[in-house]
A = this chain, B = another copy of it.
Amino acid sequence: MKPTEQRILEAAGKLFSQQGFHATGMRAIARAAKVSLGTIYHHFKSKEEMLLALLRDEYEKRRKAIEELKEEGLPVSVMIQRIAELHFRLLLEEGPSLRPLAQSLRGLSPMAKRRALAMRQAFVNYLASLIAEGIERGQIRRCDPTIAAYAFLGMVESVSARALEGDEVAERIQRMGPRELAEIAWRALAPKPS
């Protein structure tokens, strides 16, 4: 990708995730990327297209990382822990993170909302397919994979969002969050009898 496009997209991602999509103006993006308004519209068709491009990148980044984890052939319990850690790492890195971006769906044009929702559901379905696979192999207890996937994603996002607040509670959660989440998720999904 052209360096200018990348700079614009990075600036937009940062601002969208900090302030929200609707609260971020095109002029603020232009200022942060050190380009003019016209330049942005030369590279991107609209503000919504920028959000969709960012969402696509973020989901793809996570899907690829999980795919790599999968190829390591780890036990499911370890893999769950790794995915929780992955989410924390991506969230604490500079740059846009999925959760704030995905929260901007309301108020979008119907078409853009459809596309954004489809991306999220595709990612959750990917998680659900991993869970279903684990169930078939007896590594995960019998449960509804889709609901379990939404529950897992929701708990990770909720805890990691709190870890970004910047107070001392947030620091503690940054340290202990991945471990506690892995413990919770593994107990919730482990194939042991009730």
The distance from the CB of A29 to the nearest CB of chain B, in whole angstroms, is 14
The distance from the CB of A65 to the nearest CB of chain B, in whole angstroms, is 20
Of B117, B143, B181, which contacts A151 at CB under 8 A? B181
Complex-state Cα separation, A188 to B188, whole angstroms: 5
Which A residues fall within an 8 A CB radius of B? 18-20, 22-24, 100, 103-104, 106-107, 117, 124, 143-144, 146-148, 150-159, 162, 165, 169, 172-173, 176-177, 180-181, 183-185, 187-190, 194
30 residue pairs of the A-B complex, CB under 8 angstroms, read: A20-B107, A22-B23, A23-B107, A24-B107, A100-B106, A103-B103, A124-B162, A143-B183, A146-B173, A147-B176, A147-B177, A147-B181, A148-B184, A150-B155, A151-B155, A151-B158, A151-B159, A151-B180, A151-B181, A151-B184, A152-B155, A153-B158, A154-B155, A155-B155, A155-B158, A184-B188, A185-B188, A187-B187, A187-B188, A187-B194
